[in-house]
Amino acid sequence: MRLYSAKTLPESWDRFYREQMQNKLPDCLQVFYAQPPADEEQTLQSTEFVAVDIETTGLDAKQDDIISIGLVPFDAQRIHLAQAQHWLVRTRQLTSDSVIVHHITHSEVADAPRLRSVMPEVMACLAGRQIVVHYRHMERDFFHRVALSLYGETWLFPVIDTLALEAQYVKQKQSWLEKLLRRSLPSVRLPNARRRYHLPAYENHNALVDALATAELWQAQISHWEIGETQLGKWWC
């Protein structure tokens, strides 16, 4: 049996989901894998997306904690804010440095639920939708590590990474002179990427706001690049 990880991904997501369903999984993972990923041949215009963002106590999935999760369902034309979700998660790893970044304080997480009680609801909200993130190595690595830690099982799914796609775009737009002079590429951080599409500035490092910002960015990229009729699987990573 092939072993998968956040770095070693399946060649066929459909086959991977079917393989997982053959295992005896916890109920939350059964619910998630019971709904196969979106058809890779469907168009972006016909796809139901969900943007996801997490805030953490650090950048190392092996030792840091998730402290908040935000998700926003949407499609190529609409944001479904009424279905948006946001969870705070209890942790003992808050530091003064991390509080400065995400502004989540010890008192806010003191009475928050533990991650184990939050994850079934998160997985149910993500099941069957195409997941969109800005920098896949955060969400994919942390969620994979969480599933291994809580359930001893693999949790992986195809994502669309707006950061990676924006990096490809700005590289393609670079002129031959800029390449010759080895000019640095423009920033592809979420606020900078949004600015290129004339999207409004939002407060950073709030999981729900950043999920909304990612959803709007992907909508803008679809429209600006005129890729709405392209197949979904082309943009998976």
Cβ atoms within 10 Å of 31's Cβ, excluding its own: 16
Q: Which of 22-31, 155-164, 175-184 has the lowest mean pLDDT?
A: 175-184
Is the domain defined by 13-235 classed in CATH 2.70.70.10? no
The span from the first CA to the last CA of the chain, in angstroms, equals 22
Q: Which of 155-159, 174-178, 233-237 has the lowest mean pLDDT?
A: 174-178
Residue 5: pLDDT over 90: no
Chain centroid, CA 225 distance in Å:
21
Q: What are phi and psi of 69, to 5 degrees?
A: -135, 130
**Encoding tokens for residue 9?**
């991904």
% pLDDT > 90, the chain: 78
Of the two residues 30 and 4, the one the predictor is more confident about is 30
Alpha-carbon distance of 222 to 230, in angstroms, equals 10
Residues 208-218 have a mean pLDDT of 98
Alpha-carbon distance of 60 to 39, in angstroms, equals 32
Q: Which residues contact 11 (CB under 8 A, 6 or more apart)?
A: none
Alpha-carbon distance of 188 to 102, in angstroms, equals 20
At 159, the pLDDT band (50, 70, 90 cuts) reads: very high
Supply the pTM of this predicted model.
0.93
Q: Which residues contact 3 (CB under 8 A, 6 or more apart)?
A: none
